[in-house]
Amino acid sequence: MAKRKLNRRQNWRIQKIQDERAERAKRRESRIQDQLNTSELGPEEEGLVIAHYGVQLDIERPSEPGSLYRCHLRANLPALVTGDRIIWRPGKDDIGVVVAQLPRESELCRPDNHGRIKPVAANIDYIVLVVAPVPTAHANLIDRYLVAAEAINIEPVLLLNKTDLINDSNRDRLLELMATYRDLGYQVLTASTKAEHGLDTIKKLLKGHTSVFVGQSGVGKSSLVNVLLPGIQAKVGELSEQTGKGMHTTTAARLFHFPEGGSLIDSPGIREFGLWHMESEDVINGFREFREFLGYCRFRDCNHEQEPGCALLQALEEGKIEQKRMDSYRQILNSIGEL
Ligand code: GDP
Ligand code: ZN
φ/ψ of residue 85, rounded to 5:
-100, 135
Same domain? For 84 and 192 the reply is no
Same domain? For 262 and 114 the reply is yes
Ligand nearest to the CA of 294: 2
Measured in Å, residue 5 CA sits from the centre of ligand 2 at 51
83 lies in a domain? yes
Measured in Å, residue 192 CA sits from the centre of ligand 1 at 9
Cα-Cα-Cα-Cα dihedral of 219, 199, 268, 55, to 10°? Answer: -170
Cβ of 217 below 6 Å from ligand 1: yes
User: pLDDT higher for 40 or 121?
Assistant: 121
CA distances in angstroms from 34 to 59, 95, 99, 113, 288, listed in the order given? 21, 15, 14, 35, 52
Supply the pLDDT for residue 238: 44
Ligand nearest to the CA of 223: 1
Same domain? For 173 and 320 the reply is no
Closest-CA residue, ligand 1 atom 24, reads 162
CATH value at residue 293: 1.10.40.50
Same domain? For 139 and 262 the reply is yes
pLDDT at 183 over 60: yes
Q: Are 70 and 15 in contact (CB under 8 A)?
A: no
Same domain? For 96 and 114 the reply is no
Supply the pLDDT for residue 172: 97
Secondary structure (DSSP) of 275-338: -S---HHHHHHHSGGGGGGTT-SSSTT--SSS-TT-HHHHHHHTTSS-HHHHHHHHHHHHHTT-
* Number of domains present in the structure of the chain: 3
3 lies in a domain? no
Point out the domain boundary residue: 75, 103, 131: 103
How many Cα atoms occupy the beta-carbon half-sphere of 1 within 13 Å? 5
* Closest to 134 measured CA to CA, from 14, 57, 204, 215: 215
DSSP character for 82?
B
Task: Kindly give the residue spans of alpha helices, DSSP state H, lying in the chain.
Answer: 8-37, 139-151, 171-183, 199-206, 221-228, 233-244, 268-271, 280-286, 311-317, 323-335
pLDDT at 239 over 60: no
How many Cα atoms occupy the beta-carbon half-sphere of 308 within 13 Å? 0
248 lies in a domain? yes
Q: What is the mean pLDDT of the chain?
A: 88
Point out the domain boundary residue: 245, 271, 297: 271
Same domain? For 88 and 150 the reply is no
First and final CA of the chain: distance in angstroms? Answer: 29
Measured in Å, residue 304 CA sits from the centre of ligand 2 at 4
Nearest-angstrom CA–CA distance, 278 and 250: 20
Cβ of 221 below 6 Å from ligand 1: yes
Nearest-angstrom CA–CA distance, 82 and 100: 15
Please return the burial class of 23, using the count of CB atoms within 10 Å of its CB with bins 0-12, 13-18 and 19+: exposed
Please return the burial class of 256, using the count of CB atoms within 10 Å of its CB with bins 0-12, 13-18 and 19+: middle
Measured in Å, residue 308 CA sits from the centre of ligand 2 at 8
DSSP character for 104?
P
CATH value at residue 177: 3.40.50.300
User: What b/e string do you get for 265-293 counting C-beta neighbours within 10 Å, with b at 16 or more?
Assistant: bbbbbbbebbeeebeeebbbebbeebeeb
Ligand nearest to the CA of 309: 2
pLDDT at 84 over 70: yes
Q: Are 210 and 228 in contact (CB under 8 A)?
A: no
Cβ of 222 below 6 Å from ligand 1: yes
pTM listed for this prediction: 0.86
148 lies in a domain? yes
Question: For residue 235, what pLDDT band results from cuts at 50, 70 and 90?
Answer: very low
Nearest-angstrom CA–CA distance, 141 and 328: 9
Supply the pLDDT for residue 259: 93
Supply the pLDDT for residue 168: 97
1 lies in a domain? no
Ligand nearest to the CA of 302: 2
Supply the pLDDT for residue 131: 97
Lowest mean pLDDT among 74-78, 102-106, 190-194, 281-285: 74-78
Cβ of 192 below 6 Å from ligand 1: yes
Cβ of 240 below 6 Å from ligand 1: no
CATH value at residue 56: 2.40.50.140
Closest-CA residue, ligand 1 atom 19, reads 220
Range of the domain at 38: 12-103
Question: For residue 4, what pLDDT band results from cuts at 50, 70 and 90?
Answer: low
Cβ of 165 below 6 Å from ligand 1: yes
Point out the domain boundary residue: 53, 87, 103: 103
Same domain? For 313 and 329 the reply is yes
265 lies in a domain? yes
Same domain? For 202 and 264 the reply is yes
Give pLDDT tens digits for 241-286: 444 433 433 447 899 999 999 999 998 888 888 777 788 889 999 9
Same domain? For 83 and 202 the reply is no
Measured in Å, residue 301 CA sits from the centre of ligand 2 at 8
Same domain? For 21 and 54 the reply is yes
Same domain? For 291 and 323 the reply is yes
Measured in Å, residue 296 CA sits from the centre of ligand 2 at 8
195 lies in a domain? yes
Same domain? For 18 and 40 the reply is yes
pLDDT at 49 over 90: yes
4 lies in a domain? no
Cβ of 274 below 6 Å from ligand 1: no
Closest-CA residue, ligand 1 atom 6, reads 220
Nearest-angstrom CA–CA distance, 93 and 70: 9
